[in-house]
Structure 1
Amino acid sequence: MAFLARERPRPDTAVSAQSPAAPAAGPRTYATCAGAVLLGVLAAPDMAEVRWSELPSGVWLNIVCLAIEAAAIANLLYYREVGTVGPANASLMMFTVPVVNTLCATLLLGESFGRMQGAGAAVLLAGAALAAQSSSR
């Protein structure tokens, strides 16, 4: 019952809503964890068939890079941005994520970039511009 005897944080030392550390356990964190659990459940039946020791080192390096660079660092930078410019302005960056991902896939992986991708990028960037313009008023 030691957890019941803990002192409550004083109001002057509590994490405020404006603190960059405040959103760390927000809905996005819970959604990411729920998605990871769901993917684990869906992958579980096939996990026994994988020959883990035969996977090339490049696969393991890719997994580590995705976990550290694409997920952890990106989320830390995003939450810092939310704390710096506020959630409304930071959310405008989300319009650019699919555009940047598509461009990276085209340049780095040789994926195709056709009219449909160009139209989608234009719509997203126009939406970001309109949202930025309306929020500045």
Structure 2
Amino acid sequence: MRTRDGLDLVLLAAIWGASFLFMRIAAPAFGPVALAFVRVAGAALMLLPLLAWRGELGTLQKHWRPLLLVGITNSALPFICFGYATLSITAGLASIFNAATPLTSALFAWAWLKEPMTRWRTAGLALGFFGVLGLAGNKAGVRGEGIDLPVLLAIVACLLGTLLYGFSASFTKRRLTGVSAMTLATGSQFAAAIALAPLAVVTWPAAMPGALPWGAAAASALLSSGLAYILYFRLIAHVGPTNAASVTFLIPVFAVVWGAWLLDEAITPAMVIGGAVIVAGTALVLGLLPRPKRA
């Protein structure tokens, strides 16, 4: 990985880590659906002129059907899920559950794309899901005297978001291989905006959000979707999908730090231990940990 690619990776992790902070700030004022619409619509408005400048607008029309499904499953619905989750759990905790995305991606790739499931990948999946279940049980109070239903529903929303991301990754590989990174980024955000527009009208908040929520929503659109997707698809082109997926390890670090620094969110031992187990399992799935050689 070149120095420039490494810097892109760290910058992407910092931006996507901050996206959970932006949601935590803006979701109470906008609501999950309206916030998701602002995010994807703002990103589309940023990316469409860039795609036009590259002369690739015609590609959107050619691939509009699969791009619509990618927009819904990789942006619209997951953004709603995580926006809903941040109403009840911290930005750092939501980002740790998001780190399970490569685990669900591996499951869909095995079941749908027939990618081999080696013993190490199987062990990584088991370890990662053990970490998810352990952290979820701790935070939702499953092991205590009563269940914290809002927190439990928030965790379920996060995990549903990771399932959607996992499906979208395999669908993109199956149906949109060869389509440029800029077209994928622009088309998915534009399609998500179109899909969410009617719901956003119905759920738009009665009271206009203030300057801080609007600022967080704008940052989420321009940075966490617009710029981030350019960086992400550029990384895939330069270093491959496995190395690009390693950004998953850094996102919770930045999200937890941003949340603790700017929102005074607590960092608990359960978050540290559960996050470490999830990341270790993910590293095994992606093949990023050294493995003993056979004699």
Q: TM-score with structure 2 length normalisation?
A: 0.32
Structure 1 portions without partners, runs of 5+: 4-15
| Larger Rg computed on CA atoms | 1
Structure with the higher helix share, 1 or 2: 2
Alignment of structure 1 residues 1-137 onto 2, 5 Å? 17=178, 22-26=180-184, 30=188, 40-47=197-204, 50-52=206-208, 55-130=209-284, 131-133=287-289
Number of aligned residue pairs: give it. 115
Give distance in 2, aligned partners of 1:133 and 1:50.
Answer: 50
Percent sequence identity is 25
In the alignment, is the contact (CA less than 8 A) between 2:232 and 2:244 conserved in 1? yes
Distance 1:87 1:134, change over 3 A: farther
The residue matched to 2:280 in structure 1 has which SS? helix
Displacement of 1:122 after TM fit?
A: 1.0
Give distance in 1, aligned partners of 2:258 and 2:225.
Answer: 16
Q: TM-score with structure 1 length normalisation?
A: 0.60
Give distance in 2, aligned partners of 1:132 and 1:24.
Answer: 27
Superposed CA RMSD in Å reads: 3.5
Displacement of 1:118 after TM fit?
A: 0.5
- What's 1:6 paired with? none
In the alignment, is the contact (CA less than 8 A) between 1:99 and 1:121 conserved in 2? no
Displacement of 1:126 after TM fit?
A: 2.1
Give distance in 1, aligned partners of 2:276 and 2:180.
Answer: 34
Higher relative contact order (CA 8 A, sep 6+): 2
Structure 2 portions without partners, runs of 5+: 1-57, 59-176
Displacement of 1:95 after TM fit?
A: 3.3
